[in-house]
């Protein structure tokens, strides 16, 4: 199987993070490059799903002070603060891209095993939550089949975007409660074990990478982005994801 390039990025602004994911998706389509990326956000940022209305952010007062970015994938809004985010960019010919639901479950399945190393017994959701009215604004208050649950709380959800020649899947693991989303507990708020003291974005990524290598595909160290990568990501960040026209398009 074609190995995935592995990228471990430091915390960055929302527009940059989304610009890099877009760049990696383009590289997957044009250069047949498959990539697994782990990253974080600074400052804490609210990301809207592609189909959400920007005005709806006013319904969530706790996150109103956060900068806002719009993702290219669907789903509900996410407050990116005390968490680990991942993305997978694959050429459509890659075996892992063959079936969208299988990719979703495979990634979340390896996350379950990684969390178990810290004494966290999470599970996959097997039934969508039926809403009597519209869906909640926040992603972590929604339920889809294959989401990762801890007790009755969602701690990880993912979304996909497909374009000709490539697929992007990205998702967030909620590790701790954010002041910008106090209604959402994270893993460390829900588990009382000695091992949980070792759980950080860095240690979770390390364990998750090890499990990924053993179960899903080989991983190769990618190192730094090339100048062309940085240029393309910068263009996406400034002209698209950092643009009020894109953010407020709905």
Distance (Å, whole) CA 5 – CA 219: 6
Cβ-Cβ contacts under 8 Å for 25 (sequence gap 6 or more) = 89, 161, 163, 166, 167, 168
DSSP 8-state class, residue 137: S
Strands 35-39 and 4-8: parallel
Distance (Å, whole) CA 218 – CA 207: 15
C-alpha pair distances (Å), 16 with each of 41, 205, 239, 242: 9, 20, 11, 8
With contact defined as beta carbons under 8 Å apart, do 183 and 189 qualify? no
Report, as residue numbers or ranges, the catalytic residues: 139
- Number of alpha carbons in the 13 Å side-chain half-sphere of residue 186: 24
Task: Map residue 66 onto helix, strand or coil.
Answer: coil
Nearest 5°: phi and psi at 20? -65, -45
C-alpha pair distances (Å), 161 with each of 63, 97, 131, 249: 25, 12, 24, 18
CA 195, chain centre distance (Å): 24
């Amino acid at each position: 199987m074609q190995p995935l390039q592995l990228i471990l990025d430091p915390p960055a602004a929302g527009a940059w993070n989304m610009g890099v994911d877009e760049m990696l998706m383009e590289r997957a389509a044009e250069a047949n490059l498959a990539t697994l990326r782990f990253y974080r956000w600074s400052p804490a940022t609210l990301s809207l799903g592609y189909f959400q209305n920007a005005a709806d952010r006013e319904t969530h007062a706790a996150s109103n002070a956060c900068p806002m970015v719009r993702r290219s994938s669907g789903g509900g809004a996410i407050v990116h603060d005390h968490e680990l985010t991942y993305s997978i960019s694959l050429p459509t010919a890659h075996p892992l891209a063959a079936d969208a639901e299988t990719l979703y479950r495979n990634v979340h399945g390896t996350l379950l095993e990684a969390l178990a190393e810290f004494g966290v017994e999470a599970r996959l959701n097997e039934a969508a939550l039926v809403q009597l009215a519209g869906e909640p604004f926040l992603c972590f208050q929604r339920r889809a089949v294959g989401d990762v649950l801890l007790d009755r709380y969602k701690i990880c959800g993912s979304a996909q975007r497909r374009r000709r020649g490539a697929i992007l899947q990205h998702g967030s693991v909620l590790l701790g409660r954010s002041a910008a989303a106090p209604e959402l507990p994270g893993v460390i708020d829900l588990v009382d074990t000695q091992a949980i003291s070792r759980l950080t974005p860095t240690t979770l990524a390390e364990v998750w990478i090890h499990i990924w290598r053993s179960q899903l595909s080989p991983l190769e160290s990618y190192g730094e982005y090339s100048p062309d990568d940085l240029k393309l990501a910068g263009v996406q960040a400034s002209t698209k994801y950092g643009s009020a026209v894109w953010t407020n398009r709905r």
